Structure 1
Amino acid sequence: MFSFKFVAVGLALMVGNANAEPMVDVLDLPAQHSELAVRSPLLDVAQAGPRLVAVGQRGHILYSDDNGKSWAQASVPVSSDLTAVQFPTPAQGWAVGHDGVVLHSSDGGATWVKQLDGRQLGRLMQDYYSARPDAGQWLDEGKRIEAEGADKPFLDVWFDDESNGFVVGAFNLIFRTRDGGRSWEPWMDRTDNPSSYHLNAIAGDGQHLFIAGEQGLLLRLDDSGERFQALTSPYEGSYFGISVQPGLALAHGLRGHAFRSTDGGLSWTPVNTGLNASITASTRDASAHLYLFSQTGQALVSGDNGASFTAVDIGPPVPVYGALVSPEAGLLLVGARGVSQRPLASAKQE
């Protein structure tokens, strides 16, 4: 099994921990302040109203109130590597990461509290599934996860509003909240994923909610809102992300592969990206242009709703794990070298 975010964080830790002292449980160690955090590996970036928020290794969360010119480090209660962040409102946001961590902020990303971690997941599963006589498999899975400890990562997070959201991760890990994270409900039995493939990304547009994963896994929340059903996938390789907007879903992943659906995921059309490197990030701007970025720093833009892409000159290439475009900040990239701002004036749109 393969997940890009496993590799990205793993490489960073191999470099950063070569001469490390004996480990302290990162779930009990607040993220340490570092002047180098803005240049350390970061895996995702989001907008919280006018504020920018980025997350990455060792629990680092950075925020900027001047469109990326300067960054402050948030107060974070853990040192686990963080993989994704989302703000459904300017104030309310969630971040997820390794060790089963789910963090919540109610002040636009300046301070965070832990809502969930990997030490709780197995017990939550057992409590939930023990009341269901038909869920013996998942009850046993909960016991196994509890015995193995906090080693399962969440890889993405999606909230529809400040109450309703999902977190997804490795080996079919998926939990839902309906009360802003005060309680969590396991959903492992509600995905058409019998091989327990990694759930790498989750995204929605208010009408459809999709999950993209490894080995060509594509899921969509059914009309009842109570199960993720498998879609017919056009590809057997892993997807690392899915961009969703009204009338369009674009799944992207290994070796430059991207596939487009305009009918809610019922059918998919291959998109010629011209890339051989894996596509690791996507974003769109206020003018509905869609951008794709590769792990080697290549950038593409589409002005026709993802039907075709052309190259964007953004300067020297850097590995990209997350991206954001805004009128004020321009193009903001995060990756192995931290935060990078780039111009978009040289985009060639067809």
Structure 2
Amino acid sequence: MCSYIKKVMQLALVVTLTLHGVVQAASFVDVLDLPARPSVLAMRSPLLDLGHAGQRLVAVGQRGHIVYSDDNGSSWQQAVVPVSSDLNAVYFPSAEQGWAVGNDGVVLHSSDAGATWSKQLDGRQIGDLMFKHYNALMLAKPDKEQWAVLAADGQRLIEEGADKPFLDVWFANDTVGYVVGMFNLILRTEDGGQTWTPFQDRIDNPQGFHLNAIASTGDALYIAGEQGLVLKWDDSQQRFTALETPYKGSYFGVGGQPGEVFVYGLRGQVLRSTDGGINWNRLDSGLQTSISCALLDNHGHYRLFTQSGHMLMSRGGNAPLQLVPQSQQAPVAGAILAADGALVLVGSRGVRALPGLEQ
């Protein structure tokens, strides 16, 4: 009730000032040009992903917050970030070089293990980038209809503005990597992000489904998306080819190890393949809550986490998923193991570290 009364009083004040010609429009600053505000509460703000920069842990989240820890998650410092856009994912292929992506088509790069960041790309550039790339191909080969369609998609992005988010990022090394996002948004770089090449013509996604996650199992590179979309990089064709799966809902993540790949997502769905995605087995989570992230622990067990904070464990192979009791439960968006074995989780309540995992 008090909050409601405050809102009514604030509204009345604004109306009064407006009628007297006192209110002046505040200067608008785009979040893509507004550096993230330093805050002692950054580690407690909503965080969406985290990664390893060598021994350092780096977490990213809302309002451009990036925090890092050099003591296995016990304490955190805030990084210097040039944007205030929400950040959805982070990846370090090496101890020093890392990339973070987020809303408004933003791509950030760090060369000092996540302490400071620079902007490499944002949504104001992507449409023009796509249009020029595919328009050039269209002029070179006007008989191929796909180029005209993709050039038109680039023009549409120019007109719509910087409103398409990147949802994940993966790099093979310090130079070659991908960023993926909504509506089949995918770019590739071969020079560490100095330039980016649109990749929409190299992916079997004609309906333009969202690309939610990209990850390597060590022997193959996969993309997971909405409406049952799973793609695998094919070296011989130089493109991401679609795989058939028995579930047609959204997948939010993909992971695994050589010879084994997992996809997981909506309504507790978890699928496993040991033949490169030709055949899939469903692992029963016993839950209807969406699986948000997963990791392989030091014992070779898969740990999966839900948006409601459940932790599930599979002891390898087709072993059933078991619910792991926890002393506290909070929504989980990202999970990682620190060097000392501590389990570090991020979510809507910020970051928290749990003791080392037991078998």
**Which residue of 130, 144, 155 corresponds with 2:167?**
155
8 Å contact from structure 2 (residues 36, 82) kept in 1: yes
**Which residue of 266, 271, 275 corresponds with 2:278?**
266
- Residue 77 to residue 200, structure 1, CA distance change in 2 (3 Å): same
When normalised by structure 2's length, the TM-score is: 0.88
- Residue 306 to residue 67, structure 1, CA distance change in 2 (3 Å): farther
**Which residue of 167, 188, 209 corresponds with 2:200?**
188
Matched, 1:26 2:38: no
Q: What one-letter code is carried by the residue in structure 2 that aligns with 1:197? A: F
Q: Name the residue aligned to 1:109.
A: 114
Q: Deviations over 1:186-240 (max 9, x none)?
A: 0112111111010000011342111000111111111236211110121010001
Matched, 1:61 2:66: yes
Task: Please list every run of 5 or more consecutive structure 1 residues that lacks an aligned counterpart in the other structure.
Answer: 1-20
Q: Deviations over 1:259-282 (max 9, x none)?
A: 001111111110111111000011
Secondary structure of 1:297 counterpart: coil
How far apart, in 2, do the equivalents of 1:315 and 1:194 lie?
Answer: 45
Q: Deviations over 1:92-147 (max 9, x none)?
A: 10000000001010110000011110001011111111121230000000000011
Matched, 1:86 2:91: yes
When normalised by structure 1's length, the TM-score is: 0.90
8 Å contact from structure 1 (residues 26, 80) kept in 2: yes
Q: Name the residue aligned to 2:75.
A: 70
8 Å contact from structure 1 (residues 315, 342) kept in 2: no
8 Å contact from structure 2 (residues 50, 90) kept in 1: yes
How far apart, in 1, do the equivalents of 2:214 and 2:122 lie?
Answer: 19
Q: Deviations over 1:288-319 (max 9, x none)?
A: 22110001100011221464221222321100
Q: 1:287 deviation in Å? A: 2.7
**Which residue of 49, 52, 56 corresponds with 1:51?**
56
Matched, 1:297 2:309: yes
**Which residue of 18, 23, 46 corresponds with 1:41?**
46
Alignment size in residue pairs: 327
How far apart, in 2, do the equivalents of 1:224 and 1:80 lie?
Answer: 38
How far apart, in 2, do the equivalents of 1:280 and 1:306 lie?
Answer: 20
8 Å contact from structure 2 (residues 341, 355) kept in 1: no
Q: 1:23 deviation in Å? A: 5.2
Secondary structure of 1:131 counterpart: helix
8 Å contact from structure 1 (residues 68, 329) kept in 2: no
Q: What one-letter code is carried by the residue in structure 1 that aligns with 2:323? A: A
- Residue 306 to residue 343, structure 1, CA distance change in 2 (3 Å): farther
Q: What one-letter code is carried by the residue in structure 2 that aligns with 1:76? A: V
8 Å contact from structure 1 (residues 91, 108) kept in 2: yes
How far apart, in 2, do the equivalents of 1:217 and 1:281 lie?
Answer: 17
Matched, 1:340 2:345: no
How far apart, in 2, do the equivalents of 1:307 and 1:143 lie?
Answer: 49
Q: Deviations over 1:14-58 (max 9, x none)?
A: xxxxxxx77521000000001111111000011111100000000
Matched, 1:98 2:128: no
How far apart, in 2, do the equivalents of 1:229 and 1:116 lie?
Answer: 27
How far apart, in 2, do the equivalents of 1:72 and 1:344 lie?
Answer: 22
Matched, 1:130 2:135: yes
Matched, 1:172 2:177: no
8 Å contact from structure 1 (residues 280, 320) kept in 2: yes
How far apart, in 2, do the equivalents of 1:282 and 1:344 lie?
Answer: 16
8 Å contact from structure 2 (residues 217, 255) kept in 1: no
Out of 303-312 and 47-56, give the one that drifted further: 303-312
Q: What one-letter code is carried by the residue in structure 2 that aligns with 1:243? A: G
Q: What one-letter code is carried by the residue in structure 2 that aligns with 1:298? A: H
Extract structure 1 runs of 4+ deviating beyond 6 A. Answer: none
8 Å contact from structure 2 (residues 82, 117) kept in 1: yes
For residues 233-252 of structure 1, what are the structure 2 equivalents within 5 Å? 233-252=245-264
Q: What one-letter code is carried by the residue in structure 1 that aligns with 2:280? A: W
Secondary structure of 1:128 counterpart: helix
**Which residue of 206, 219, 223 corresponds with 1:211?**
223
